[in-house]
Structure 1
Amino acid sequence: MQEDYVWVRKLQNIFAAKPKNNYRVFDRSIYSEDGSHSIPIRVFHPKERKSDDILLFFHGGGWVLGNNDTYTKDCMKMAESTGRTVLSVDYRKAPEYPFPAGFEDCYRVVDILTNNLELTGLTDAKKLSLIGNSAGGNLVAAVCLRLRDEGKTLPGKQILINPVTYWDHTEQAPFESIYVNGFDYGLTSKKMQEYMEMYEPDEALRKSPYISPLMAADFSDLPDALIITSEFDPLRDEGEAYGVKLKEAGTYTRVFQAQETVHDYLTGPSVNGIVSKTYKLIKEFLDESLKGSEYIGKQNDAP
């Protein structure tokens, strides 16, 4: 990835789905705290809005790949499936902008929106929920930790899909899924380690809880959490371990494992309806009506 990321970006942009219905998709931006750059935000409105709540989305791609264009199709699906407006943040990418650049962009957007509700039309910051996949899930967890640490206004909920929560993905990593799933299922442990090295070149600094949420000293007083992992994902165990930490600290947390899926299943074609089942789960979590087992798919069709 350290050699090929530029070409991968170009390919992603070539095949990216462009917004089709301009009346439902709008581009906006928020200035960085120092005014040095703007942070693009794409707004996706569902055809049928079923809730006034808003989802703020941080996309995946190892902090290196992806943008609002490459995730347009997924954000439209998210808006339609949940009946909620989705705001997608195009944060700065490594290696050109390593940590804390992308993290600061995401933090800035959340801080601005929760303290200036007139920008969203919300009356309560609890009606804003954060959602992210992979590196985006990492950013959701890290932003919530920092907001809590600084005594800032927190969003209502956090949804982490196959999140990165730990700093080491080498053979010394403490999680079995790194070895079991780290070679043959798309995202490899080697790729993950290379992404991490581009995001933060200094290994010692990778142990910051704002890069590795599992390294936090305190997991209490955080937003209600839904964590979704994949059976054949090298990140499976660290995502579930983060859920355990949140539960032990008294944070309301549900952890589901999507059976017979790989890391990027939610952005690919639906297999056995697993994508629609996942979005149903997400919607029920947001609606506070979530029931069912701790699995999605093979072992149990719940929720």
Structure 2
Amino acid sequence: MDKEIEDLLQKVKEANRKPFWQSTPQEARSGPMLMALLFGEPPAVERDESFTIPSSQGFALPVRLYVPSAAPKGLIVYFHGGGWVIGTVAGYHPFTATLANRTGCAVLSVDYRLAPEHPFPLPVDDALAAIRWAASDAAAKAIGIAPRTLVAMGDSAGGNLATVASRIHNASGAGRKVDLQVLAYPVADHDFQTGSYAEFAEGNLLTRNDMKWFWGHYCSDESKRSHPDASPMRAQDLSASPEALIVTAGRDPLRDEGEAYGQRLQDAGVPTEVVRGEGLVHGFLAMIHYAPSAGRAFEKMVKAIERATSK
């Protein structure tokens, strides 16, 4: 583990902050996220604009589009983390602006509806609406060029939405398909008894009780958590899923489910690479300028996107 991450965990322990699972959603949203604390200043992007696209129940889904200076090689649809309860496009701005500049792709960052006010399946509806927009002529018009490659990407709960929405979209046969999914420490299941849940139940930023709290707000009816659109690990057929890169964190309760999900994709015939970031903790995308190992994990994602856009 990087010394920087060791120091961070010690600071969190000494701060004795109120954990998510003992908070209300409003309290959890009021505190600073790791992105604000650790990432640093956002880089300038050639063009960045906010607008809405239509989603279910007449919802106008807010999105933020980043377009780099050179003609974009592809379009990345990005879903932020936060357990479906916290997190915003504005909060992720430093990362998504960096993602656009580093990959040479346009990035569509999605402000999907949050639970508990908008529980499952409404965030999935928003994720699918964003993917469908990205696959349409409207995206090419907004970007100024038709992107060669379409990527779905997200971290944590955002990784869950990215993989579910890209599978549903590709299976529908409507419009161009998602070519690649890039998932960072994704939520893939609702099983709190895995080896990594047992080993890292406490002390590594995200705890087992936190995840139970997030799931309780997102999908309070436990009988619905096994729906494949909530827990993609439970999908009977994953063959429509796009090629995948899954990067897990070695010290994360979600590690085992992310890696098992990668195996499920491989078993379904989906080209999938699973990379474990040894010593990393949940939320490491906020640390790419803070901890060297987090920066290296991000570079793997950038390289995978560059390979996909060069085909």
Q: TM-score by structure 1 length?
A: 0.85
Partner of 2:233: 214
TM alignment of 1:93-242, pairs within 5 A: 93-116=114-137, 117-119=139-141, 120-123=143-146, 127-153=149-175, 154-169=177-192, 173=193, 175-242=194-261
Residue 273 (structure 1) shift: 2.0
Query: Counterpart amino acid of 2:84?
Result: W
Q: Within the alignment, does 1:281 sit opposite 2:303 as a pair?
A: no
Bigger mean CA offset, 141-150 vs 195-204: 141-150
Q: Could you tell me whether the CA contact under 8 Å between 2:238 and 2:268 is conserved in 1?
A: yes
RMSD: 2.5
Q: Within the alignment, does 1:243 sit opposite 2:256 as a pair?
A: no
Q: Could you tell me whether the CA contact under 8 Å between 1:214 and 1:242 is conserved in 2?
A: yes
| Distance of 1:249 and 1:23 partners within structure 2 | 40
Aligned residues between the structures: 283
Query: Counterpart amino acid of 1:101?
Result: L
Q: Could you tell me whether the CA contact under 8 Å between 1:12 and 1:66 is conserved in 2?
A: no
Query: Counterpart amino acid of 1:127?
Result: T
- Post-superposition Cα deviations, 1:237-296, rounded to whole Å, max 9, x if no partner, equal 00000100111111110000111110011113545522332232112212228xxxxxxx
Q: 1:275 to 1:18 in 2, by over 3 A?
A: closer
Residue 96 (structure 1) shift: 0.6
Q: 1:229 to 1:19 in 2, by over 3 A?
A: closer
Q: 1:252 to 1:50 in 2, by over 3 A?
A: farther
Partner of 1:62: 83
Q: 1:257 to 1:128 in 2, by over 3 A?
A: same
Q: 1:181 to 1:49 in 2, by over 3 A?
A: farther
| Distance of 1:55 and 1:254 partners within structure 2 | 18
| Distance of 1:42 and 1:78 partners within structure 2 | 13
| Distance of 1:51 and 1:276 partners within structure 2 | 23
Instruction: State, as a whole percentage, how many aligned pairs show the same letter.
Output: 31
Query: Counterpart amino acid of 2:185?
Result: N
Query: Counterpart amino acid of 1:30?
Result: I
| Distance of 2:220 and 2:291 partners within structure 1 | 40
Which of these residues, 13, 18, 25, is aligned with residue 5 of structure 1?
25
Query: Counterpart amino acid of 1:280?
Result: E
Q: Could you tell me whether the CA contact under 8 Å between 1:78 and 1:279 is conserved in 2?
A: no
Partner of 1:294: none
Q: 1:81 to 1:274 in 2, by over 3 A?
A: farther
| Distance of 2:241 and 2:109 partners within structure 1 | 22
| Distance of 2:118 and 2:236 partners within structure 1 | 27
Residue 20 (structure 1) shift: 7.3
**Partner SS for 2:99:** helix
| Distance of 2:102 and 2:128 partners within structure 1 | 26
Q: 1:186 to 1:114 in 2, by over 3 A?
A: same
- Post-superposition Cα deviations, 1:62-94, rounded to whole Å, max 9, x if no partner, equal 000011111011112212222222110000000
Query: Counterpart amino acid of 1:99?
Result: F
**Partner SS for 1:12:** coil
| Distance of 2:98 and 2:146 partners within structure 1 | 26
**Partner SS for 1:137:** helix
**Partner SS for 2:213:** helix
Q: Within the alignment, does 1:30 sit opposite 2:45 as a pair?
A: no
Q: 1:19 to 1:29 in 2, by over 3 A?
A: farther
- Post-superposition Cα deviations, 1:139-198, rounded to whole Å, max 9, x if no partner, equal 0111122224433342111011000000232xxx2x200000121101001100110110
Partner of 2:3: none
Q: 1:144 to 1:23 in 2, by over 3 A?
A: closer
| Distance of 1:237 and 1:207 partners within structure 2 | 17
Q: 1:118 to 1:266 in 2, by over 3 A?
A: closer
| More relative contact order, 1 or 2 (CA 8 Å, 6+ apart) | 2
